[in-house]
């Protein structure tokens, strides 16, 4: 059996990456629609990508292979609730890997880079949200060390 290995790099996103990041954003929205009927009809955007690139409290990274972007993710430093042991935490989001490159460790490398950045900012807690029915994503996050913590519940009425 021959395993084809590939080398990709993780780097901080820059403004030249914005067009591809907008495509990745639509990939995230497409993947989440089946789990959330509250997402507005297209056109819809989750992120202010340019602001994420500029902001000092956000690290937006991309995975790149042979000059092509294949994944993304960000860590955003947020203030924790006043009763928590840690004053701040890093919230992870915009976790996306191109379908042709899933299952190759790209997501794990993105998370490792964001974890390292958070540690350098003296942040010791990472958090993220994932839909409870998105079992592949839950398994991927558990694989790199995340565990379920809270259940976020909602109730719509009068809609």
Residues 14-45 pLDDT 10s: 999 999 999 999 999 999 999 999 999 999 99
pTM, entire model: 0.92
Beta-carbon-side half-sphere exposure of residue 135 (alpha carbons within 13 Å): 0
**pLDDT on residue 83:** 95
**pLDDT on residue 152:** 87
Whether 107 is covered by a domain: the verdict is: yes
72-92 mean pLDDT = 97
Whether the pLDDT of residue 95 is over 90: the answer is yes
Whether the pLDDT of residue 5 is over 50: the answer is no
- Of the chain, the percentage scoring pLDDT greater than 70 comes to 96
Whether 102 is covered by a domain: the verdict is: yes
- Output the average pLDDT for the chain: 93
Whether 154 is covered by a domain: the verdict is: no
Whether 19 is covered by a domain: the verdict is: yes
Q: What does the buried/exposed string (b/e) look like for 32-70 if buried means 16 or more CB atoms within 10 Å of the residue's CB?
A: eeeeeeeeeeeeeeebebeebbeeeebbbbbbbbeeebb
Please tell me the distance from the alpha carbon of residue 62 to that of residue 70, in angstroms, as a whole number: 7
**pLDDT on residue 2:** 34
128-148 mean pLDDT = 94
Pick the more confident residue, 4 or 95. Answer: 95
Domain that includes residue 134, residue range: 9-143
Task: Report the run of H or E that residue 137 belongs to, with start and end.
Answer: helix 135-143
Report the relative pairing of strands 68-79 and 88-97 from DSSP bridges.
Answer: antiparallel
CATH number at residue 44: 3.40.630.30
In angstroms, the Cα distances linking 83 to 35, 47, 80 are: 31, 29, 8
Radius of gyration for the alpha carbons in the chain, expressed in angstroms and rounded: 16
Whether 39 is covered by a domain: the verdict is: yes
Domain count, the chain: 1
pLDDT band at 6 (very low <50, low <70, confident <90, very high): low
Whether 128 is covered by a domain: the verdict is: yes
Whether 150 is covered by a domain: the verdict is: no
Quickly count: other Cβ atoms within 10 Å of residue 79's Cβ: 9
Whether 132 is covered by a domain: the verdict is: yes
């Amino acid at each position: 059996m021959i395993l084809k290995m590939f080398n990709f790099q993780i780097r901080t996103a820059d403004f030249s990456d914005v067009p591809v990041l907008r495509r990745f954003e639509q990939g995230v929205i497409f993947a989440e629609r089946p789990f959330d009927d509250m997402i507005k009809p297209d056109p819809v955007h989750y992120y202010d990508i340019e602001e994420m690139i500029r902001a000092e409290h956000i690290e937006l990274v991309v995975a790149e292979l042979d000059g092509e972007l294949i994944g993304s993710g960000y860590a955003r430093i947020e203030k924790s609730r006043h009763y928590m042991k840690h004053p701040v935490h890093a919230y992870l989001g915009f976790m996306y890997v191109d379908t042709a490159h899933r299952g190759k460790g790209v997501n794990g490398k993105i998370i490792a880079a964001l974890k390292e950045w958070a540690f350098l900012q003296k942040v010791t807690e990472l958090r993220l949200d994932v839909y409870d029915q998105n079992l592949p994503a839950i398994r991927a996050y558990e694989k790199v060390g995340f565990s379920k913590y809270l259940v976020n519940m909602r109730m719509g009425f009068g809609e």
